[in-house]
């Protein structure tokens, strides 16, 4: 799904390397993505079909694949600024972290529906924060604006920063934002960054991150005894280190 997402995003790099479709072409990349997806499903069936919770784990896998594929349609749509917040998490769809964690729980016999739902909500919140942290790195990295891959701006992505403009911006700032968001022109991109800086979004995100960390820490302390607190603490630590979408 990542290699198809790179096509939709018109990305140049991922993990500091040239994205696959720019090496082999779009057609080959689409075929490769199908091979990967069917291969993953086959391996899952081969090695876990005898597990008593196989059906539950397979359901979680489909809850990742199906909405994530459907969300690509949402991601290429253009939305009104005022509606960005409504679509933010739909566009990024069902977080991939959920399936891995809930499946491991099933494998070790933790099948209580309430505990599963609690962990699923926890993982989704971690992934939402991780996505927002990935968004904000566009204005905190040390390279110059001209060196950045600004696809979020010229593709009109529903980023955390754009949502803050909708919620916090003055009428004049919103007007300028709407005029220039979605343009690949360097001057327009610079204007968008100016608006982000005027709203002090980096400082705002720092406060949000502290609130997120405190909230997640409290939730970890209140987890049921059968769940390993250290595992979930490590998950949160990774998210505030921006290691999920690097």
Contact 185, 146 (CB under 8 A): no
Task: Give residue 142's pLDDT.
Answer: 40
Name the residue with higher pLDDT: 116 or 41.
116
For tokens 């390279």, the residue is 143
pLDDT of residue 198: 97
pLDDT category, 7, cuts 50, 70, 90? confident
Spatial separation of the C-alpha atoms in residues 234 and 165, rounded to whole Å: 32
Q: How far apart are CA 232 and CA 230, in angstroms?
A: 6
Q: Which CATH architecture has domain 51-240?
A: Orthogonal Bundle (1.10)
Rounded to an integer, the average pLDDT of 135-164 is 74
Per-residue pLDDT at 245 exceeds 80: no
Q: Is the pLDDT of residue 143 over 70?
A: no
Would you state the pLDDT for residue 144? 43
Please give the pLDDT value at position 22.
94
3-state DSSP of the chain: CHHHHHHHHCCCEECCEECCHHHHCHHHHHHHHHHHHHHHHHHHHHHHCCCCCHHHHHHHHHHHHHHHHHHHHHHCCCCCHHHHHHHHHHHHCCCCHHHHHHHHHHHCCCCCHHHHHHHHHHHHHHHHHHHHHHHHHHHCCCCCHHHCCCHHHHCCCCCHHHHHHHHHCCHHHHHHHHHHCCCCCHHHHHHHHHHHHHCCHHHHHHHHHHHHHHHHHHHHHCCCCCCCHHHHHHHHHHHHCCCCCC
pLDDT at res. 93:
56
Cα pseudo-dihedral 163, 192, 240, 149, rounded to 10: 120
pLDDT tens for residues 40-85? 889 989 999 999 999 999 888 887 777 777 777 777 777 888 888 8
pLDDT value of residue 145: 43
Summarize the confidence of residues 206-234 as an average pLDDT: 97
Distance, CA of 177 to CA of 80 (rounded, Å)? 11
Question: 52 is written with which tokens?
Answer: 């008593």
pLDDT bin (cut points 50, 70, 90) of residue 170 is very high
Query: If pLDDT is split at 50, 70 and 90, which confidence band does 202 have?
Result: very high
The whole-model pTM stands at 0.84
Nearest to 168 by CA among 210, 200, 143: 200
What mean pLDDT, rounded, does the chain reach?
87
Domain ranges of the chain: 1-50, 51-240
Q: Please count the other Cβ atoms lying within 10 Å of the Cβ belonging to residue 174.
A: 16
* pLDDT above 80: residue 147: no
């Amino acid at each position: 799904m990542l290699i198809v997402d790179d096509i939709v995003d018109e990305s140049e790099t991922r993990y500091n390397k040239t994205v696959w479709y720019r090496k082999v072409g779009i057609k080959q990349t689409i075929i490769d993505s199908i091979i990967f997806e069917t291969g993953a499903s086959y391996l899952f069936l081969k090695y876990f079909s005898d597990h008593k919770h196989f059906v539950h784990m397979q359901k979680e896998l489909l809850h990742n694949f199906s909405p994530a594929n459907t969300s690509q349609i949402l991601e290429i749509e253009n939305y009104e600024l005022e509606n960005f917040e409504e679509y933010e998490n739909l566009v990024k769809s069902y977080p991939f972290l959920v399936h891995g964690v809930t499946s491991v729980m099933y494998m070790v016999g933790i099948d209580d529906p309430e505990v599963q739902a609690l962990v699923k909500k926890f993982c989704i919140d971690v992934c939402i924060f991780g996505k927002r942290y990935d968004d904000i790195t566009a204005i905190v990295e040390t390279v110059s604006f001209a060196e950045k891959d600004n696809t979020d701006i010229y593709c009109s992505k529903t980023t955390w920063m754009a949502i803050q403009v909708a919620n916090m911006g003055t009428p004049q700032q919103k007007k300028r934002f709407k005029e220039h968001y979605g343009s690949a022109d360097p001057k327009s991109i610079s204007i968008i960054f100016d608006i982000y800086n005027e709203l002090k979004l980096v400082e705002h995100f720092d406060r949000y991150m502290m609130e997120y960390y405190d909230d997640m820490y409290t939730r970890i302390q209140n987890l049921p005894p059968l769940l390993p607190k250290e595992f979930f603490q490590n998950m949160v630590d990774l998210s505030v280190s921006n290691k999920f979408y690097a």
